[in-house]
Structures are given as C-alpha cells and as structure tokens.
Amino acid sequence: MNNNELTPEFEQALDALLAEVVPDESGRCTTPPDLSAAILARLSQRVSPEQQRSAEVLKASESRKPVVAVATRENRSESTRRWSPWAIAALVVAACAAAVIVLDPFELSPSGPTTPESMASNTTQNSDDLVMGRDPAIELPTQTDRQLVANGNAAIDDEKNTGLDDEANSPTRPRRQPVVIAPQWSPIVQNEGSQESGEQPRSLTAQPVTLVSTKLASTQQSYWEAVGVQPTTPLTAQQWAERLEQSLGIQVSQASFDDLEKLQADLSGPTVSREIAKRLLTQITRGGLASLSSESRELLIDQLSKALQGKSSVDALLVRWMTGSDADVSKESSDDPQVTATDAFYRAMSAGGKSALVEKLAHFTMGVDLRCTRCHDELVGSEGKQDDYWAFAGFIEDGVVRGQTQWTVSSKPASKPKFFALPDGRQRLAKPAVPTAWMSASGETEHSPADLKEWANLKQWSSDLAGSSTLAHGMVDSLWQLVHGRPLRASLVQPGSAPVDDSLTQLHSELAEDLRASGFDVARTLALILQSPMSRLSVPDALQPENALVVSESDHKAALDKVHAFAATQPVQAAMPSKQRVDLAMRRVGGRLDAMQSSRVLAQPASDGSVKSSGDRDDARSTPLVSGFPERVESMPVHWLKSIDDYDSQVEHLAYLSGRDQVPGEFKDTIVALRQQETDRSLTLHRVWWLLQR
C-alpha cells in the first residue's frame, strides 16, 4: 500500500479527533468520551497468579517477534507535508489532552503516585486483556460495583483467616474464587434444553444476598437523586413489621428488619408462604382467583405455596400450569380428577373474558402492557402495535381450549389467522405469533416483520419461558406491585407511575437478574424488595388523614411526588369489596344517606374512611386503615386523559386501564352521581379510578 494512502480506520479516528477540537458550521465541537471510570477501573484491577503467568508468556513471545517499521522518516515527512497547519494543531491538542488524562497518576490513581511496580502491574493487565480475549471497548463496572467487589473479597478473606472454611486445606477441593458482581453490561446466558416439563438446566450462580441488597440500595439512592426527591424518614423495625402485617397479612419478626436471611426464612415458612401465594395469585389473575371453586382455588394456592418454600421451582411450576403438563401432580392433590391446576389457572386468568386472558398472560409472563393496543396503536409511552396484540391473541386462542368441563392446552400448531378491526373500521388479518421483541426482556415492542418467531404452539412458547430473563422481568413487576401497589417498570399508561429514569430500569434489571440467577427463588426476591430502602419509608405528614384539612396544596403535591417516586409510602388502604366502595362513594357525594351496613368503614371529615387492621383485632397494633377515597388532587389520573374531551370516553378508558372490557353495570349510577357533583374533572376521574380498583 502506498504510504500516502490512509486506511478507513485511520480516517475515522482522525475525523473523530478533529471533531473534538475544530468547531462545525454551528460553532460547536463534539464532546470527547469520559474515560475516567475505565482508566480508574483498569488501574484498580488485580491480577491473579494465573493471569500473571499467561501475560508473561505472551510478553516473552512478543519480545521474540521482529519489529516492523510502519513508515520511514522520509515517508512520514512526505505524508506530514500533505496536512494543513490547522489539522496538525488539532492533532497536537488532542494528543496533549490524551496524555494529561492517561499519564497523570496523581489525578487518576486512588493510591497516589505511580510506582514502577504499579506500572508493571498495569502493563501486565493490558497484556492479560489480550490473553483472556476481553474487549477494551466494553464499558467497565462502575465505582459502586468495584466497591461491592472489594467488600465481597474482604468478606471471603476474613472467612479464610478465621478458619470458617473447614475444607480450605483439602487437596481435592478447588480453591474458592472471590465473589464478583456481574457488571451491568454482562450478557445474560440463555438456558438451553427447554422441555415441556418446564425444568431448565441452571447455569447461573446467584451472588450473596447481602451484596445484592447493597447494590439495590445504591441504585435506589441514585434514582432519587436523578428525579430530585428526598425520601421520608425510615420506619423503625416495629413500624415496618406492623406495616407488613397490615398490607400483606403476614407476620415477620422484627429481628428480620436488618437480617435478610432471616427474613427470607420467615417468608418461606408454611403460614407466610401460603398467604403470599394467595395474594400473588389474586394479583396475577386480577381478582380472578375468587371466581374459582374452593377446591380449584386451594389447589393453586397449595402448589405455589410449596414452591415458595423451596420444594420446587416457581418458574417450572408456572410452565407446568401453562402447558398442561401438571395433570399427574394435580390428581395427587385433588379428589376430583376433573380439577387440574391448568384448568384452574386458565379459568382464573380468563375471568373477564378472552381479552383479559390475553392481557394478563402478556403482562405476567413478559411484562408487556396490552391495555391500549387491543383497540389502537399505543399513542404514548412504548411503541405497542395493534397488530401485535391480535397476533398474540390469535396465538393464545389457538393454544388454550375451553371444553365443556375443563380448560386444556392444544398441541396443534397455531395457524388460524384472525381478523380484527382497525380504528377507522377497516379489517386486517393477523397471523398467530408471539413478537420476539416481547421475549427480549427489554420492554420494547418495536420490531420488524422478521421478528415474529414461529413458535409452533403455546406449549413450545411456554417452555421457552422457563428460566428466562423474560419471565424474570415479568415476575419482578408482579412482586413489586404486591408490595407497592403498582409495577416497578415506569409506564405513561399506568396511573401513579414512577418518573422515568435509567436508574429505575437498572433497578428492575438487577432484581430480575438476581431472581433468574437464584433459580427463581421468589422468597429471596421478595425479601430483597421488602428490606430495600424504598419499602421502609414512612407516610408524609401531608398525607396523614388527620392533616387533610390543614395541609397546603403545595405540600400535598410534594408528598404525592414522593410517593410516585417510591420515596414515601401512602397509608395502608383497606381491601374493600365493590359494594362497599359504591356505598362509600355515594355517601360522600350525598347520593345515599343511609348508614353503612358494615361497621368496618367509618367516616372521617373531608378525608378517608378507616378500618382496623387484620381481623379487626383491638390490640395496640390495630392501626386504622384508610379507604383511599380521593378528596383532593392536582392533576388527572394520567395526563393523556386531557386529550379526550368526552367524560364518558374518559371513564371508558379508565375501565380499560383497570383490566375490564367495559364499565361494570354496578358502578354506572355512582359514576353518574360523581359527575353531577360540581367538582373538578380531575378529582371526579380520580374517584372513578378509585371505584374501579379491584
């Protein structure tokens, strides 16, 4: 090659350097990448003896290679003469800047000046990168990750020094390696060998739960800083335990407040795991569990409770329910051969109609929100498509068969096309399929037609969910909603959704990755959520029922902003049946003056009704629960409702968001009464949303 010719790689690098120092037409320069974190990480990396020996071998082999000159002095001079003076100046400036960043040990090294030994260590590490095949362009772990790694290494060293490792000196036992936090950029290893039984080979190892907890706490703090809120005062151990009893109906010891392993053991107990299983199934099915017979309901609760206790894998159990491969297990647990867990599962999930089954399955298994895309493409938030909804709906309709006495799962290929109506009335044909983007665990639904994977049927697709990141992300949202009343994943469609920030997405991914690495140990993930800073915060004074008449509008709004950002908690709301909600709403608007039939709900001036906690016990811990009936708001339940002028249409959309196909007839008179009252439209819609809650 002629020395005067430049390679494409060199030209690309030169263009990047010039763009950083030479203004463009708008008078601006590009910002060079900040490599401080990468340099610090490289300087702080420790080299193992094995890596040291590998690097020495590589260096020895390189020293025997002949040195090849890239260009002669004459050629370099000739090439240099082709450059204009401003280009040479730009290169000099860029080189100086790079030299300052890379070569200043006092500014970058956390341990002070660079010694010859440390320089040799760094050189060895660079060579080791080549030996191990690491890509220097990959983003390195953050400072928080490195600190957690250091803590983990120190803990292991202490264990060895104190003699806690009884087998440390065993010649047949491999030497223990330091605990390393998986960096955020690490690819997720996919399980192989899917089977219809739902069992998957486990190739991941979960990190120590205390290290994961520390990382989650750091991510939550970063989120609060990013959205600009200050969390409220943390709860005491006693207040925290009382709140769990009120909100989840479980009793845990106060000692588990700072002991994750003890909390996990408490959650895995027979009594507590049964209560969690019942509430989790109620949430997943959106109340559909109550529509089952007592025997079917107990069958699902019993099997999930045993899985929470560690007697089986939760993801494998769910796949057995979805694929219909649970028949033998169900017959052992039930006196009626017609009662199977698969039948009970699909009956509960389909409560509300076929569309309810489609939406519940998509949200629980893949974390995909389909509440809008049944009627039109999603107009806010993600890029959800109506085509995707009906493709998935056809896939589920072909796979789940409702017989005269039992729900079963078909093994036939899903191939029956389905017509659906576009918003303008035209008909379109959808081929049954599952969009691959939904299975990517990224939450994005945008894809090309080639992304529609040809899963043969529902059984094959369900089997692929076992041990997957997709199922882990979906389950994290369900577990988070069990504790906080709303999913962790931010959504512009969901009323009261948290402000969107990358830290919140990172928190979601960290929980999902740990859930998957632990073999879908739901008790562990729930313990991490319950003991995290976001779950141990107090109620702001502005939201206390006794302060409803005196709090200012600005303080009330600031308190709600904290609640939305998981920086505060609301008073625990009572679980009220639909009839009780209707009665309370009518009393508040003057539509019904008769006394409440149930004495559990009491009136409070301009605030909420209240009920006593678990079982109406009259002990010192019976803190009143509030009904949550809205008395003052500052905005719409979701901002996009402002784009809909008609009140009835706004109410219909709120019904869709609650998981219903239409407004229930039992609520229509109350909704009319709420509208006739001369109040702000935003407050009226908040009250409608409260009424529609399950």
Task: Return the sign of the alpha-carbon dihedral for residues 244, 248, 249, 255.
Answer: negative
Kindly write down the DSSP assignment for every residue of 411-468, as one continuous string: -S-----EEEE-TTS-EEEE---EEGGGGGSS------GGGEE---SHHHHHHHHTT-
| Sequence letter at residue 46 | R
Summarize the confidence of residues 615-637 as an average pLDDT. Answer: 64
Per the CB < 8 A criterion, the answer to whether 382 and 318 are in contact is no
Which pLDDT tens digit goes with each residue over 259-286? 999 999 999 999 999 999 999 999 999 9
Give whichever of 9-13, 465-469, 584-588 has the largest mean pLDDT.
465-469
Give me the pLDDT at residue 321, please. Answer: 96
Taking 50 as the threshold, does the pLDDT of residue 179 lie above it? no
**495 — pLDDT class (breaks 50, 70, 90):** confident
Determine what percent of the chain is predicted with pLDDT higher than 90: 40
Annotated domain spans of the chain: 205-268+467-572, 353-442+454-466, 573-590+628-693
Which pLDDT tens digit goes with each residue over 355-382? 999 999 999 999 998 988 888 888 876 6
Give me the pLDDT at residue 16, please. Answer: 60
Give me the pLDDT at residue 26, please. Answer: 54
Taking 80 as the threshold, does the pLDDT of residue 167 lie above it? no
Taking 50 as the threshold, does the pLDDT of residue 655 lie above it? yes
Which pLDDT tens digit goes with each residue over 520-559? 999 999 999 999 999 999 999 999 888 888 889 889 999 9
More confident residue, 129 or 579: 579
Which pLDDT tens digit goes with each residue over 402-451? 888 889 998 888 778 889 999 999 999 999 999 888 887 544 434 344 44
End-to-end CA distance of the chain: 74
Query: Cα angle vertex 526, ends 689, 474, to 5°?
Result: 60
Average pLDDT, the chain: 74
What's the CA gap between 574 and 613, in Å, rounded?
A: 8
Give me the pLDDT at residue 547, please. Answer: 86
Please choose, from the candidates 252, 257, 248, the residue with its C-alpha nearest in 3D space to the C-alpha of residue 277: 248
